[in-house]
Amino acid sequence: MAYFFITIVPNLRLKNGNHTVRIAVTHSGQTRYIPTDVTISSEKEFKNGKVVKRPDKDALNVRLRSILNRYEEKAEHIQYAETLTCSQLVRLLKAPTMGEKRRTFSDIADEYLSTIDKDDREKTYRLYRLAANRYTDFAGKDTLMEHVNPLRINGYIMNLHKSGLSPTSINIYVTLLKVIINYAVKMKYVSFEVDPFVTAKIPSAKKRDTYITVEQLKRIRDAEIGTHSLSVVRDIFMLTYYLAGMNLVDMLEYDFRNTDEIYYVRKKTRHTKEGDNAVNFTIPDEAKPIIARYMDKRTGKLVFGRYKNYTSCYNVLARKIKSLAEAGGIKHRFTLYSARKSFVQHGFDLGIPLSTLEYCIGQSMKDSRPIFNYVSIMKRHADKAIREILDNLL
């Protein structure tokens, strides 16, 4: 059974020194707090669950009692509440009942973010958090979701332009904002007579040609490398290419012991709406010496010398990738992603079907294509495609 009481949390003082009066919810041995719209100037204005020493104290106490009663009544109608954690209960209490609106953008954004596994999809979570914070910085933390409209969206986009962001960054911020707003619509937290984005002019993300030619890839593979760090960068780059564009984070997670094949689900798309699309192919001979060089025999995981985790590998790549580009005679933008992009481009140039290439790199295949009602991509297709691409390097 949940218990409710009115309180303030001294440690959660607002920037101006004021305090938000909160509803405390105690349930399953935990306590969580729901902020109200009532604020007081100091701790001296609150005593024994009531606002004191203010001319408007009576009105504020009636308001707070009404809010408390509403949450208590709502809790009584939640089925199987005893099976919920305190956080889950509070989330249900804060969610509007059918037809109830007037929720803030910030509140709904927080709810949407709670559906993203922060540990498993850290980068995705961080991007959505940045996008949500960017909008609330513009519109105000207490702006209601129902106040999102074409004029406000256009003003927001103009604000992003004025802040000097690139078209690609603006496109990302607006796209993620749109996802959060669409979530609110789907959950029936808000409805719009006019689509907020109906007049929005969202700049296109710049397409970056980061792939390299087969000849440039050969030069990187065959270059005389003088330093350990650059040798590691070259090995990571080539292994990414040999393993069909496998992302670094997935390579570092994989257990290569006692196996001649790769079978994995990309961390980037794991648990997303596209589903867990597994990738399965035979480890090509070109990759085996690199794997043997760096594989920890106890764990089967790759350890690139003193670069023992994703962060240290990422940092050495950032520092040395330019030198690797010079070894390959590459003048345009070049990153580790170039290995993945080049694998696909080289396969496409050889006439390998896009559906097979999508499978090889773990890209979600578009079910809207009618052919996928009849065809399944399997390991043997991937093996054949990878072999053809790597034979092209001979």
DSSP 324-338: HHHHTT--S---THH
Q: Is 152 within 8 Å of 139 (Cβ atoms)?
A: yes
56-60, 133-137, 206-210: least confident range: 206-210
Cβ neighbours for 276, distance < 8 A, ≥ 6 positions apart: 265, 269, 270
Residue 373, pLDDT > 70, answer: no
Q: Tell me the sheet residues that pair with 143.
A: none
Residue 206, pLDDT > 70, answer: no
DSSP 113-176: HTTS-TTTTHHHHHHHHHHHHHHHHHH-TT-BGGG--HHHHHHHHHHHHHTT--HHHHHHHHHH
- Supply 196's token pair: 């907020």
Residue 202's SS3 state is coil
pLDDT at 371: 46
DSSP annotation of 384 reads: H
Q: How far is CA 78 from the centre of its chain?
A: 31
- Supply 68's token pair: 């408390």
What is the amino acid identity at position 14?
L
Q: For residue 342, which phi and psi values (nearest 5 degrees)?
A: -70, -35
Q: For residue 93, which phi and psi values (nearest 5 degrees)?
A: -65, -35
DSSP annotation of 147 reads: G
Can you tell me the distance from the alpha carbon of 5 to that of 56, in angstroms, rounded to the nearest whole number? 20
Residue 189's SS3 state is coil
Mean pLDDT, residues 40-58 taken together: 92
Sign of the CA dihedral running 93, 97, 103, 107 = positive
DSSP 269-290: TTTSTT---EEEEEPPTTTHHH
Q: For residue range 328-355, what is the model confidence (pLDDT) as tens digits?
A: 899 888 999 999 999 999 999 999 998 8
Query: CB atoms < 10 A from the CB of 163, how many?
Result: 11
Radius of gyration of the chain (CA): 27
Q: Is 2 within 8 Å of 25 (Cβ atoms)?
A: yes
Q: For residue range 234-272, what is the model confidence (pLDDT) as tens digits?
A: 999 999 999 999 999 999 999 999 899 999 988 877 655
The confidence band for 8, taking pLDDT boundaries of 50, 70 and 90, is: very high
Quick one: which H or E segment has residue 149?
none
Can you tell me the distance from the alpha carbon of 239 to that of 173, in angstroms, rounded to the nearest whole number? 33
Can you tell me the distance from the alpha carbon of 334 to that of 258, in angstroms, rounded to the nearest whole number? 34
* Percent with pLDDT over 70 in the chain: 90
pLDDT at 93: 86
Residue 276, pLDDT > 70, answer: no
